[in-house]
């Protein structure tokens, strides 16, 4: 690591406990002297260095000075945890840069940015006016970016790129001018990716070496891939993908030096709405989910995956978590359970309905929300990607579909107990046939509650787009009709 002030040279070189580097590859070697594991060398003199913490004292930082912190590209993480100065940074006109040596991308440290909420306090410890203390921490994680991400065109690695959200995300990224490297299984259905240019990588979330190799040079990582099933004979593969697969991808992205890692969770990991004064109040990111609400294996596996993401974020990886609600719109190739409701309606295979509720959101807004999370999301935070006007009952949803399509909506409401009993019977039959039940028990149990959510945080923090839910339903109907999902 080199620290310098133009016109007033000062240099600090740091070697990590585990490694040493050669000049030209992110050097930490001084002429005639090598920095050892527990030393800081400043102007060829050893300063104090404690395990996991370094103290750097730079004197005579003048107005309009530029502080440059160059970090070796392969060097273990340098985490800026604080800065103090004799004057407010605004008065110093202090400009700071953090970048990996030899890398093209630019990093700006949050601790140096007076526009953030981090406080900068006058120092009571400096002997010389105009000096500054910078506290940094060294640990076993890879190089991190704790400030605003680089601007301009980015290179994004996307898992789950052939899925509903993933394919729309790829289209949205490319439309924004970014490059995309998409991870695809050999048997992936790529119809949702037609008409968009991207670099495909064949593999899966269990191939750690492939992930490490292919993420090299990527600025962003979007981990969208998930195993989404409400019924399986064996749930172990789903846990493997949603938990261990998540760990593999996020850790690989961290090792590759991605500036932002966006993990796609689900509102199934957020607590359910609560009744307040006789009114159902949509849930927010602060509503914790209870063990009782983890009512099926899909929700349990995604909750465990989100816990992995949260832990890695606490350990230093630049992770932002997004929790989409019920996306609808084009490119629902499979289709998803929510898309299947629309397909069944269009094919007049929906004779009755359960009294449930969902937060409908246009899938294009969800895709845009992923990009905005990478650009503006706070590290370690989670954001509900939904629509503030999208909390509809199923009856309201079917009424709008009737208006859009002219197809009569079903009038009969199924009592919950009847639906639950039918689901038990269907699952017993599926155990013998191996075919998924038409009404999985997990789906019926979730439908008992109105899954309404408040996306105000995402709207406030990064201006999440709010396409009207009616338009989202209309776009879904148009796409299903145009792509052969409706029998004539």
pLDDT single digits (tens) 20-36:
222 222 222 323 333 33
What is the average pLDDT across 252-267?
Answer: 96
Lowest mean per-residue pLDDT among 81-95, 128-142, 157-171, 339-353: 128-142
pLDDT band, residue 103 (cuts 50/70/90):
very low
For 197, 244, 341, 487, the CA distances from 335, given in Å and listed in that order, are 23, 25, 9, 15
- For residues 315 and 327, give the distance between their C-alpha atoms in angstroms, rounded to a whole number: 31
- In angstroms, rounded to a whole number, what is the distance separating the alpha carbons of residues 110 and 318? 12
Q: Are 145 and 309 in contact (CB under 8 A)?
A: no
Token readout for 381 is 């935070």
Rounded to two decimals, the pTM is: 0.70
More confident residue, 83 or 349: 349
| 161 compared with 292, residue with greater pLDDT | 161
**Residue 362 to residue 325: CA distance in whole angstroms:** 10
Least confident of 10-19, 214-223, 474-483: 10-19
Sketch the domain layout of the chain as residue ranges: 2-138, 155-482
Work out the average pLDDT over 447-465: 93
With bands split at pLDDT 50, 70 and 90, how would you rate the model's confidence at 305?
very high
Write down the pLDDT at residue 123. 28
Q: What is the pLDDT of residues 217-237, one digit of tens each?
A: 999 999 999 998 777 788 899
The superfamily in CATH containing domain 155-482 is: NAD(P)-binding Rossmann-like Domain (3.40.50.720)
pLDDT, mean of residues 91-99: 36
Residue 449 is predicted with a pLDDT of: 84
pLDDT at residue 157 is higher than 80: yes
- C-alpha dist (Å) from residue 324 to 127, 267, 295, 381, 384: 52, 6, 18, 14, 6
Q: What percent of the chain has pLDDT over 70?
A: 69
Residue 472 has what pLDDT?
97
Mean of the per-residue pLDDT values of the chain:
74
pLDDT of residue 142: 28
For residues 323 and 384, is the Cβ–Cβ distance under 8 A?
yes
Q: Which two tokens stand for residue 163?
A: 């899925």
Contacts for 17 with CB less than 8 Å, ≥ 6 apart: 37, 38
What percent of the chain stands above pLDDT 90? 55
Q: Burial code of 292-324, b = ≥16 C-beta within 10 A, e = fewer? A: ebbbbbbbbbbbbbbebbbebbeebbbbbbbbb
Q: What is the dihedral of CA 294, 267, 155, 66, to 10 degrees?
A: -100
Whether the predicted pLDDT of 72 surpasses 90: no
Give the lowest-confidence range in 6-10, 186-190, 198-202, 367-371. 6-10
pLDDT of residue 94: 36
Regarding predicted confidence, which is higher, 37 or 288? 288
Torsion of CA 349, 335, 477, 488, to 10 degrees: -50
Residue 179 vs residues 159, 196, 330: alpha-carbon distances, Å: 14, 11, 22
Cβ contact 282:107 at 8 Å: no
User: Would you give the end-to-end CA distance of the chain in angstroms?
Assistant: 67
Nearest to 160 by CA among 135, 122, 134, 188: 188
Per-residue pLDDT band at 152 (split at 50, 70, 90): low
- 45 contacts: CB under 8 Å, gap ≥ 6: none
Tell me what pLDDT residue 16 has.
30
In this prediction, residues 446-475 reach a mean pLDDT of 94
Tell whether the model's pLDDT for residue 336 goes beyond 90: yes
3-state secondary structure (DSSP) of residue 200: strand
How would you classify residue 75: left for phi > 0, otherwise alpha for psi between -120 and 50, otherwise beta? beta
């Amino acid at each position: 690591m080199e620290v310098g002030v133009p016109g007033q040279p000062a240099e600090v070189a740091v070697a990590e406990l585990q490694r040493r580097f050669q000049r030209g590859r992110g050097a930490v070697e001084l002429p005639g002297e090598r920095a050892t594991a527990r030393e800081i060398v400043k102007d060829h003199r050893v300063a104090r260095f404690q395990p996991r913490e370094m103290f750097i004292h730079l004197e005579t930082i003048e107005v309009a000075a530029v502080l440059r912190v160059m970090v070796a590209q392969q060097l273990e993480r340098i985490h800026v945890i604080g800065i103090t100065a004799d004057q407010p940074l605004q008065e110093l006109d202090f400009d700071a840069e953090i970048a990996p040596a030899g890398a093209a991308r630019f990093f700006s440290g949050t601790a140096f940015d007076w526009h953030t909420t981090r406080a900068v306090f006058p120092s009571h410890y400096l002997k010389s006016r105009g000096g500054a203390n910078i506290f940094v921490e060294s640990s076993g994680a890879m190089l991190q970016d704790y400030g605003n991400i680089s601007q301009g065109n980015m290179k994004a690695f996307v898992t789950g790129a052939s899925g509903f959200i993933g394919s729309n995300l790829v289209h949205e990224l490319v439309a924004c001018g970014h490059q995309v490297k998409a991870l695809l299984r050999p048997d992936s259905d790529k119809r949702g990716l037609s008409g968009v240019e991207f670099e495909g990588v064949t593999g899966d979330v269990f191939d750690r070496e492939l992930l490490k190799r292919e993420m090299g040079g990527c600025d962003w990582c979007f981990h969208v891939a998930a195993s989404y099933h409400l019924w399986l004979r064996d749930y172990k593969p789903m846990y493997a993908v949603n938990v261990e697969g998540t760990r593999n991808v996020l850790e690989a992205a961290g090792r590759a030096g991605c500036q932002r890692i966006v993990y796609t969770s689900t509102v199934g990991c957020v607590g359910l709405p609560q009744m307040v004064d006789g009114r159902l109040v949509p849930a927010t990111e602060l509503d914790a989910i209870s063990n009782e609400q983890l009512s099926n294996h899909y929700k349990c596996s995604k909750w465990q995956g989100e816990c992995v993401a949260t832990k890695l974020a606490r350990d230093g990886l630049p992770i932002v978590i997004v929790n989409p609600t019920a996306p609808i719109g084009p490119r629902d190739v499979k289709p998803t359970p929510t898309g299947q409701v629309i397909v069944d309606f269009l094919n007049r295979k929906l004779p009755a309905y359960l009294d449930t509720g969902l937060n409908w959101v246009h899938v294009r807004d969800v895709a845009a929300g992923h990009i905005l999370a990478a650009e503006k999301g706070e590290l370690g935070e989670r954001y509900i990607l939904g629509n503030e006007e999208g909390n509809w009952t199923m009856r309201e949803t079917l009424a709008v579909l009737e208006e859009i399509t002219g197809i009569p909506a079903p009038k009969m409401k199924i009592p919950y107990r009847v639906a639950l009993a039918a689901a038990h019977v269907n699952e017993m039959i599926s155990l013998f046939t191996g075919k998924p039940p038409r009404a999985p028990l997990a789906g019926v149990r979730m439908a008992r509650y109105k899954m309404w959510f408040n996306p105000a945080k995402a709207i406030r923090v990064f201006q999440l787009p709010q396409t009207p839910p009616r338009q989202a339903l209309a776009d879904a109907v148009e796409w299903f009709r145009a792509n052969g999902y409706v029998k004539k």
